[in-house]
Amino acid sequence: MKKRSYVGVLSAVLAASMALTGCAGNSNSSGGSNASGGQSQPAPGNSGGGTTEGGLIKIATQSPLSGSNSAVGDAIKTGAGYALEKRKEEFKALGFDLQLFPQDDQGDPKIGVSNAEMLISDPDVYGVVGHYNTGVAIPSSVKYEEGKLVMVSPANTGVKLTEEGKKTVHRICARDDAQGPKAALYAKNTLGVKTAYIIHDKTAYGQGLSDQVKMQFEKDGVQILGFEGITQGEKDYSAVLNQVTVKNPDIIFFGGLYPEGGIMIKQAREKGFKGYFMGGDGLDSSDMIKIAGDAVEGVVFTSVAGDVTQTEEGKKWAEEYKKVTNKPLETYSVYGFDSMNVILNGVLEATKANGGKKPTREQVLDAVHKTKDFQGQFTKVTFDDKGDNTNADVFIYKFDKDKSIFVGKAE
Amino acid sequence: MLAPFPRENKSSQRNECRKFVQVYKRNEGWESMINILPQVLVDGLTLGFMYAVVALGYTMVYGILEIINFAHGDIFMVGAFIGTEVLLISDALGALEGMNPFVALFITLIIAMVLTGALGVGIERIAYRPLRGAPRLVPLISAIGVSFLLQDLVRFTEALARNEFYLNSPALFTGSIPLGSIATIPTKGLIVIVIAIVMMIALTLFVNKTKWGIAMRAVAQDQSTASLMTINVNKVIMLTFLIGSSLGGATGVLFAQNYGTIDPYIGFILGLKAFTAAVLGGIGNLRGAMIGGVLLGLLESLSGAFMGPLTNGAFGAEYKDVFAFSILILVLLFKPEGLFGEAVKEKV
């Protein structure tokens, strides 16, 4: 009797946990999944027997849809998906079935690469909008290069990404060697800081940006009181913050992302730090407010994404976006949107050049690479030889109690 | 950062020296390092007691079963989530308003301890007991499996319920107590320390003074002999998991209160450090785990704050873990059983 009940309990728990993890898999794939290939679309991979004669064209997104960066990752996916949805009819008229193929890179290089491998092995995938993390984009781009799959990044600012000479790599946003110096200049000229303490998260993005800021500060004679790294995922930064309070800098510059940045500013204020707190586009998320609480007020950050609601037309677009997607507007939403349109435009050009037939990936890549003066919803896109957008700008924002306020273009 | 030696004043050696000291003082020298020392110690203690209570869970299970329960860090994480959910839900219902924060914390702690205790017992039942006779590596792997399962279960349920998986705990205590002008202890930090000490004392009394405590020590010594002495070994092991896990869960609640933000992955780093603390103190030894935890917390805090100035910026706070773990390696090299462990005697 006793033994039977034991087996019963065991199998019940097993069944429950399997059901639960099974569900977890499903919920993942509804928002894109990892290498195991969560096709969220109803008709995956039917390149031959589609309803339209021209065939299936999938455009992938790769961004963190789970994990601590998922707020921004989801905004990129949603923005790109919205752009694709809007142009579905246009492509149907040409005989193509357009499909979004969202992937979750979890902000993890290993998962990004295995997703990329899966994408290049799928002949219907014609482009990738992604990534969010430079540290994920660089190793993944090796795979894209192998598969001649064009990548247009809405958010990667790491300098190294386009310096490696990969033809498939493009980005529509500014680079850290534009962002960092402009942030430092703003801190010195507008905020009037004389001493600075720089903290970074030891990632390709965070440290890279911090290096740029440091270089500019040194050039301008702003005294650097410290340059320290922290470990991503930790929640206690008192060790480094104790040093900051001793040296009492005019500004803490943080090179990293909002989960760490939010905690850091909160703990710094608790320790009585009164100076400015500044970061790069990694702080650009509405979740920053949730994490930092009241301490977020006055936090300044630069972003490579501008405020689309600055113009009347942009405001209209934002309203529509919120209505259709039922998601809050993040600053990267519109960049996801524009990146997708750059790729779709490339597909269109390549199709034209191919006489209306389905183009090859290489033709799409060439077409995207040649993008010139393409007016997106927010940014104008002209790629230079490396794949950087020559029209990219850097913007300054400031957090109020419950939202970030656009301050202006950083000069 | 040495200040240039003042050359212009040559009236007397002493004068020169004094001036040097003054200049040095002005430039964050020893003086300012002494000034922040109390604050560094306070931070280190808070962190250290957190490690210590989690380390107790590792050391208890190891003492009894000689397996390392790598899922313990994630039980801690589940405790943090349960506590935060309790607070968030009661906050949404308006129950927190007007309630004494100590009462609220107490209720939250009890709920989290009961649930994580049950979770610990369940894990033992499903993942460890069937493997009791297997080689020691096997339950270790199963522990790592449970650890991932817990992370993803929490991630999944939170994503389903709240559409995000890092939560911000409502803060019950916001004030801070100034210790003269030298340091301030945030109330929440003080509460962490006090509750951790209470839990550690209670556990020590339990193990040393009660019948069940004696039974636990007997099982730790020799399972089969203990069972011959009419001790129900399975029950004792269950009790060990119950106590260890509920302590871990309670620490999770304290962690969430102290740092505000939690995510499903907090158990990994903290669990690893607590495990290290247990090894540092001598794994299997309760007193060792406590002291090891506090020591590790202090080491981390001190090295984070002082390594930069001492090495002139060559090694910054980013190397604090390297430093702490180097000490661990040194200790293990010269005293392999840990600081307070006894050398393992052959069991007869």
CA neighbor of B55 nearest in space, from B308, B284, B222: B284
Q: How far apart are CA A266 and CA A233, in angstroms?
A: 15
| A162/chain B closest Cα distance in angstroms | 28
Contact A236 B259 (CB under 8 A): yes
Per-residue pLDDT of chain B (348 residues; tens, 9 = 90+): 444 434 444 444 555 555 444 444 445 556 667 777 888 898 899 999 999 999 999 999 988 888 889 999 999 999 999 999 999 999 888 888 888 889 999 999 999 999 999 999 999 999 999 998 888 889 999 999 999 999 989 988 987 888 777 788 888 888 888 877 777 788 888 999 999 999 999 999 999 999 999 999 899 888 888 888 888 999 999 999 999 999 999 999 999 998 888 888 889 888 989 999 998 888 888 889 999 999 999 998 888 888 777 777 677 777 888 887 888 888 889 888 888 876 555 444
Using a CB–CB cutoff of 8 Å, tell me whether B259 touches chain A: yes
Contact B305 A66 (CB under 8 A): no
- Is residue A141 a contact partner of residue A85, using CB atoms and an 8 Å limit? no
Q: How far apart are CA B134 and CA B157, in angstroms?
A: 33
pLDDT at B249 (0 to 100): 95
Token pair of B57 as six digits = 């869970």
Q: Is the pTM of this model over 0.90?
A: no
Q: How far apart are CA A10 and CA B134, in angstroms?
A: 19
CA distances from A163 to A173, A183, A256, A328, B22 (A): 15, 22, 21, 34, 49
- Name the residue type at position A230: I
pLDDT at B229 (0 to 100): 87
Alpha-carbon radius of gyration of chain A = 23
Contact B301 A239 (CB under 8 A): yes
Per-residue pLDDT of chain A (411 residues; tens, 9 = 90+): 445 555 555 555 545 554 444 444 333 333 333 444 434 444 444 444 444 567 899 999 999 987 767 888 999 999 999 999 999 999 999 889 999 999 999 888 999 999 999 999 999 999 999 899 989 999 999 999 999 999 999 999 888 899 988 999 999 999 888 899 999 999 999 999 999 999 999 888 899 899 999 999 999 999 999 888 888 878 888 888 888 888 889 999 999 999 899 999 999 998 889 999 999 988 988 888 888 888 999 999 998 888 888 888 889 999 999 999 988 888 889 999 999 999 999 999 999 998 888 899 999 999 999 999 999 888 899 999 999 999 888 999 999 888 888 888 887
> Best residue in B156, B157, B172, B192 to probe A by mutation, most A CBs within 10 Å?
B156
Using a CB–CB cutoff of 8 Å, tell me whether B183 touches chain A: no
Residues 6 or more apart in contact with residue A123 via CB below 8 angstroms: A47
Using a CB–CB cutoff of 8 Å, tell me whether A12 touches chain B: no
| A19/chain B closest Cα distance in angstroms | 11
Residues 6 or more apart in contact with residue B38 via CB below 8 angstroms: B179, B182, B183
Residue in the structure block whose two tokens are 């200040």: B3
The neighbouring-strand residues paired with A276 are A251
CA atoms within 13 A on the CB side of B336: 2
pLDDT at B6 (0 to 100): 41
Contact B166 A230 (CB under 8 A): no
Phi, psi of A313 (to 5 degrees): -65, -40
| B10/chain A closest Cα distance in angstroms | 31
CB pairs under 8 A between A and B: 120
SS (H, E, C) chain A: CHHHHHHHHHHHHHHHHHHHHHHHHHHHHHCCECCCCCCCCCCCCCCCCCCCCCEEEEEEEEECCCCCCHHHHHHHHHHHHHHHHHCHHHHHHCCEEEEEEEEECCCCHHHHHHHHHHHHCCCCEEEEEECCCHHHHHHHHHHHHHHCCEEEECCCCCCHHHHCCCCCEEECCCCHHHHHHHHHHHHHHCCCCCEEEEEECCCHHHHHHHHHHHHHHHHHCCEEEEEEECCCCCCCCHHHHHHHHHHCCCEEEEECCHHHHHHHHHHHHHCCCCCEEEECHHHCCCHHHHHHHHHHCCCEEEECCCCHHHCHHHHHHHHHHHHHHCCCCCCCHHHHHHHHHHHHHHHHHHHHHCCCCCCCHHHHHHHHHCCCCEECCCCEECECCCCEECCCCCEEEEECCCCEEEEEECC
- Is residue B49 a contact partner of residue B192, using CB atoms and an 8 Å limit? yes
- Considering only residues 131 to 170 of chain A, which have any Cβ-Cβ distance to chain B shorter than 8 Å? none
What are the chain B neighbours of A66 within 8 Å (beta carbons)?
Answer: 155, 159, 165
The number of beta carbons lying within 10 Å of the beta carbon of residue B332 is: 14
- Name the residue type at position B245: S
Using a CB–CB cutoff of 8 Å, tell me whether B187 touches chain A: no
Contact B165 A13 (CB under 8 A): no
The number of beta carbons lying within 10 Å of the beta carbon of residue A294 is: 9
pLDDT at B310 (0 to 100): 76
Q: How far apart are CA A239 and CA A254, in angstroms?
A: 15
pLDDT at B7 (0 to 100): 41
pLDDT at B127 (0 to 100): 92
Q: How far apart are CA B72 and CA B58, in angstroms?
A: 7
Q: How far apart are CA B290 and CA B231, in angstroms?
A: 28
Q: How far apart are CA A230 and CA B320, in angstroms?
A: 9
Contacts of the segment A16-20: beta carbons below 8 A, 24+ positions apart: A17/B149, A17/B153, A20/B153, A20/B156
